[in-house]
Amino acid sequence: MEKIELINTLPQVFAGRDRVPSQVWQCDLSIERGQHYLIVAESGTGKSSLCAYLYGYRVDYSGTMRFDGRDIRSLTVAEWCQVRQRHIAYLPQEMRLFPELTAMENVQLKNRLTSHKTDREILDWFEALGIPDKVHSPVAKLSIGQQQRVAIIRTLCQPADFILLDEPVSHLDDANNRIVADMVQAEAQRQGAGIIATSVGNHLQLEQFIVKSL
């Protein structure tokens, strides 16, 4: 997948408003593979909705979204599964980890589907993010910040054309923000993938990026 296009899109909840001051909604926006985008938003401007539309689990918007020219409303369930396994790596804001499984099991649940990373690589990431001792802890026992790091590792365990991160560092300190940013950029560069990160305040510290305000 090379390009994601948004053509005059608007969440249905915003319908009826005269003019939404946004560089995303009601615009023609093209998101290219290989580029890094930072979508800056205030709370309640439809940031998570945008992610949900792009990941196919919500369709309550007007306008058109396209993957490589194809209207994503026409994608079948099987095609969406392919998108989620091969083309777009997604970190939801609420992370959606399974609290009863260990950190490693959560990551494996994804990696088993994609066979993208070795156990060694995954453990190296745990090490880099400072949580090697949490590998076999149930996620329910981890702090929010630790859970966020586990979720990021899980997100990166798949081939991707775009890495879609919804507030990836909202619970991380500067040092960990830096590490996550490096990890994500390294992974994106390796695959030539684009990065789309949203943020309400704590920005992911990408080196080069295009800012779009919602």
Partner 1 sequence: MLWRLLRTHISASQLIGFSLANLVGLTIVILAVQFYRDVQPVFDDEESFIRKDYLVITRNVTSAGAMMGGTSEFSDQDIADIESQPWCRQVGRFTSSEFSINATIGLGDSGRAMRSQFFFESIPTDFIDVADAEWTFDPARPEVPVIVSRDYLSLYNFGFAATQGLPRISEGQMGMIPLSFTFSGNGLNEAMPGRIVGFSNRLNTVIVPDEFMHWANKRYGDGDVTHPLRLIIEVNSPGDVAIEDYMAQHHYDVAGDKMNSSKANYFLTVIVSIVIAVGVVISLLSFFVLMLSIYLLLQKNTRRLQDLLLLGYSPAQVSKPYMLLVLCINAAVLVLAVVLMLLARLWYMPMLHAFGVAGASVLPAIAVGLVIMALITAGNLMAIRRKVAALWLQ
Tokens 């609420």 belong to: 94
Letters for 100-119 (x = contact with partner 1 by CB under 8 A, - = none) are: xx---x--xxx-xxx-----
Q: Is the dihedral of CA 18, 209, 188, 127 positive or negative?
A: negative
Contacts of 67 (CB under 8 A, 6+ apart): 1, 3, 4, 75, 83, 87
For partner 1, the closer CB: 187 or 212 = 187
Question: Smallest distance from the beta carbon of 211 to partner 1, in angstroms?
Answer: 27
Smallest separation (angstroms) from partner 1 to the CB of 213? 26
Q: What are the tokens at 125?
A: 């990431």
| Number of residues in contact with partner 1 under rule CB under 8 A | 24
- Select from 15, 81, 140, 186 the one that contacts partner 1 (CB under 8 A): 81
What pairing do the DSSP bridges indicate for beta strands 88-91 and 70-71? Answer: unpaired
Q: Is 49 in the site for partner 1 (CB under 8 A)?
A: no
Helix (H) or strand (E) holding 186: helix 174-191
Tokens for 5, please give them: 């296009």
- Angle at which helices 103-114 and 119-128 pack, to 10 degrees? 140
Token pair of 31 as six digits: 């998101």
In the shown chain, the binding pattern of residues 141 to 180 toward partner 1, with x for contact by CB under 8 A and - for none, equals: -----------------x----------------------
Please pick, from the candidates 22, 23, 85, 205, the single residue that binds partner 1 as defined by CB under 8 A. 85
Residues that bind partner 1 (CB under 8 A): 52, 55, 57-59, 77-78, 81, 84-85, 90, 92, 96, 98, 100-101, 105, 108-110, 112-114, 158
